[in-house]
Amino acid sequence: MPVFSLRSDESFGIGEFNDLKKLADWCVMTGLKLIQILPVNDTTTDGGWSDSYPYKSMSTKALHPIYLNLEKVGILKDENERLRFNEKKKQLNAKEFVDYPEVFKAKMEYLRKIFENQDIFKYFYDFLQYHCDRQLTEAVDYLHSKGIMLKGDLPIGVNRDSDDVRQNPRLFNLDMETGAPPDAFAAEGQNWGFPTYNWDEMAKDGFAWWRGRVKWFERYFDALRIDHILGFFRIWEIPKGSPNASFGHYSPTDPIRWEIEGRNRLSEIFGNSKLLICGEDLGMVAPCVPGVMRELGILSLEVQRMPKNSGRPFSDPRENPYLSVDTTGTHDMPTIRGWWEENRDIAARFYREMLHHTDNPPYFCEPFICKEIIEQHFKSASQWVILPIQDYIAMDGDFRWDCTWEEQINNPADPNHRWKYRMHQSLEQLLGNDRLNVTIKELAKR
């Protein structure tokens, strides 16, 4: 779940670190044990829509100040100013989606006013990062007090204008860009715009830059998702300035090196971490990847509608490897309901083959179908079952949002996608939905 997608009565048009506490309360109520979030690193360049992309790290060791709760940072002294910002808060909180530029602009104005009336910090950015660390740490401590784990997300790349690239240019190939080859997600492939890594240079000091990143994650998280773990074996490298990602190639080009390079990098970087390490290993997976991940104890990602056995249309969660995370989908995919409506023939086949119904499937993914699918996943053989909150909510026909397709967080085929999804329901409403919460708790017990 992206932090920015959380909706609460207390937030300012966007989810905040403080909202993780209410989400933890909901987890306790429903018997869930872990919250997984998208990256929360600072992505700020100009405050526009491009900054809404959470995988565009401008610093691998800085948190995004947009997730700050303003009143926990400080209260404005001027009453007229307080009234003006309270009105802005109501306006932004009433919006269906995150209005990233407007939220960022308003929050930075408020935070700068507080900064200008204090004398502890000399620099505005130091002031922001102090409060980011304080608020996220407070939220993490609250989660732990409730027995809830927090899983973070480590992006495969960093922005070419980032602090990391400026300080360590030798560690990056600045004439190349990272992406993914053409696949089911994007016909022309994906170009993420990040420079590729100079792995030979990184190896000279034992991957110190990477180990520093992992150490930073250990400050806040209990588990870690490695975004595009395939990139540690070989990366789709696109010459800078290419029309699209189909002009790229794998680096290294020799498949024999992939296993050697991947095992060495992953073991050196993550081998001594106290985090539970999970890899996002979807897409065009090299044959050597599963074996190396098992050897190193890195959990794979299993998605029922994306079986790794190409001879089957769907996988059975009960047959998943134990060292894995089972899920109904990722932020790059439609929700259960979106997938159901996307391809009626596939939905009909799933309805009969996996849910064992003999009648004709309903046109929409009705609540009973969502429940049956989630029940299947809760019987998974995987070590962890982590599902999108939209799919849990889909089990309640009166509570779920009618705008099915607005619940997909990202469209990988659109390089200019605006990351603006926000829960239709508030966390307060979610906590008050006894019917849904009892259903989830009963399923989680099985």
CB 245 within 8 A of CB 264: no
* CB burial of residue 200 (10 Å; 0-12, 13-18, 19+): exposed
Within 10 angstroms of residue 3's Cβ, the number of other Cβ atoms is: 25
175-207 pLDDT tens trace: 999 998 998 778 899 899 999 999 999 999 999
- At residue 413 the predicted structure's pLDDT band, cuts being 50, 70 and 90, is confident
Identify residue 199 by its one-letter amino acid code: W
246-287 pLDDT tens trace: 999 999 999 999 999 999 999 999 999 999 999 999 988 999
**pLDDT (average), residues 293-317:** 94
Q: Break the chain into its structural domains and give their ranges.
A: 1-151
Mean pLDDT in the chain? 96
Better-predicted residue by pLDDT, 109 or 311: 109
Stated length of the chain: 446
Q: Name the DSSP letter for residue 57.
A: -
The pLDDT of residue 283 is 85
| CA nearest neighbour of 349 among 390, 397, 313 | 313
Share of the chain above pLDDT 70, in %: 100
CA dihedral 293, 296, 297, 300 (to 10 degrees): -10
Sign of CA dihedral 361, 363, 366, 370: positive
421-438 pLDDT tens trace: 999 999 999 999 999 999
Phi, then psi, of 434 in degrees rounded to 5: -60, -40
Q: Which two tokens stand for residue 285?
A: 């997976």
- At residue 54 the predicted structure's pLDDT band, cuts being 50, 70 and 90, is very high
* pTM strictly above 0.75: yes
| CA nearest neighbour of 305 among 272, 332, 278 | 332
Cα(268)–Cα(246) distance, integer angstroms? 31
The pLDDT of residue 186 is 82
Sheet strands (E) in 299-379: 300-303, 324-327
Listed in sequence order, the residues at least 6 apart from 445 whose beta carbon sits closer than 8 Å to its beta carbon are 31
- At residue 121 the predicted structure's pLDDT band, cuts being 50, 70 and 90, is very high
**pLDDT (average), residues 350-376:** 97
- At residue 446 the predicted structure's pLDDT band, cuts being 50, 70 and 90, is low
